[in-house]
A and B are shown apart, each in its own frame.
Chain A
């Protein structure tokens, strides 16, 4: 299985994490699954930055996201998360459960875990392991080794992705990410507009 990742999908988890540096943040990845089971991750939707252990708003968000995705001729193809602990790159149990649901509904799925420590090294790091992808194989979610390198299962579609992300960080674009939590506090804030960043 191969996974290609567009610049919006790559940058959104990082920006969302940067907006709430002390919190766990999470969201959905949207894209397409082709007949060979390969995933093209095109964009994402930011969901939460607090009360992340509780389920009602997750149910609401998932249903809405499904409606939105189908309107855009996309599918929900994955989940992203930046854990609260600086060095925590583990796949939490509830993430596994959501990811399993996504995989069953869309056929395939991928999970991006943000490597928080690398957020501070945007200038040096070229191998892209600032995001750790997990895919499901042989009954388990497994981390992909050496992602975003030339021969990896997981690659970027746009070769300037990294420069683009650096640019967005310099201009503090992360402050413009609006997630579902923020939308619930003020419905005039559009959580579906993240692709306009």
Chain B
């Protein structure tokens, strides 16, 4: 049985901290292994963000023992004065469904530091957890009035609007994201899909084209472009764009197994 590669595990966990992916089952199991094999005690200051990361992953998979163990280590090191630790304790209570107690902790933190962004956001999440989507939207909107360049906030607000099927408001959020990150093709893609849903095929088509400028051969955009162009056959360029999207999709699928290629060819009418 191959030896567990501790260094690789640490590096992988570090990568997840940077990319912010939510791979909680995996992170919790890696973390538990590092702790169980006492490898974690060999790290020096690197260990503290790691404990924080494992805590959050553990809460996501309902492993309260693991989360408590990590919180205990953080408590010894940072004590009651640490607002960062208090926030984690709040999240622990949230995961247990003790929303009122979590609320108290967050209120306390915001009293000491009214600009604590992460905790302001947890307050908003509590509203979601209490099944109050309208209030959550209201709170998120107010938050963004102040912190208007918090792109994570705009993403969250966009999704909250989409959950309630407020497509026009969701589209507005995408517009803000496009302004904040004009080189990120994802925002144009999301915008295209939202306006398509609203029935504005011309605008959707324009944005699908923009996605492809920024991200060559983006498959989702190609399918979207092909779909729009096929419905807008009377518009200028629609015919050309339809042909382009079809050609690119066929090229992309040319290396795939027969049964997949055939289905795509059938779908594209080729």
Contact = CB atoms under 8 A, between A and B. Distances in A.
Interface of A: 21-22, 51, 53-57, 59-60, 63-64, 67-68, 71, 84-85, 93-94, 184-185, 187-188, 190, 192
A56 B165 contact: no
A33 to B, nearest CB: 23
B22 A55 contact: no
B263 A56 contact: no
A172 to B, nearest CB: 8
Given A53-B163, A56-B224, A192-B260, A22 B193 contact: no
B263 A64 contact: yes
Contacts of B267: 60, 63-64, 67
Contacts of A71: 263
A187 B197 contact: no
Given A57-B223, A64-B263, A187-B256, 14 more contacts: A22-B60, A53-B165, A53-B167, A54-B196, A55-B193, A55-B197, A59-B227, A60-B224, A63-B267, A64-B267, A184-B219, A185-B219, A187-B253, A187-B260
Contacts of A57: 193, 220, 223-224
What is the interface residue range for chain B against chain A?
Answer: 20 to 34
B252 A187 contact: yes
Contacts of B193: 51, 54-57
B197 A56 contact: yes
Contacts of A188: 256
A32 to B, nearest CB: 21
B197 A54 contact: yes
Contacts of B256: 187-188
Contacts of B60: 21-22
A34 B131 CA distance: 42
B263 A184 contact: no
A187 B196 contact: no
A137 to B, nearest CB: 26
Nearest to A20: B22
A63 B269 CA distance: 12
A58 to B, nearest CB: 9
Contact of A93 (B165, B197, B228): B165
A14 B11 CA distance: 32
A192 B263 contact: yes
Top 10 nearest A-B pairs (CB, nearest first) are A54-B193, A53-B162, A56-B196, A55-B197, A184-B220, A54-B197, A60-B223, A56-B224, A184-B219, A67-B266
A56 B204 contact: yes
A94 B91 CA distance: 32
Contacts of A59: 227
A85 B219 CA distance: 30
Contacts of B196: 54-56
Given A63-B267, A184-B219, A187-B253, A54 B227 contact: no
B185 interface: no
Q: Which of A54, A93, A188 has the most CB atoms of chain B within a 10 A radius of its CB?
A: A54
Q: Which of A22, A63, A184 has the most CB atoms of chain B within a 10 A radius of its CB?
A: A184
Given A85-B131, A192-B260, A192-B263, A184 B223 contact: yes
Interface string B9-31: 00000000000001000000000
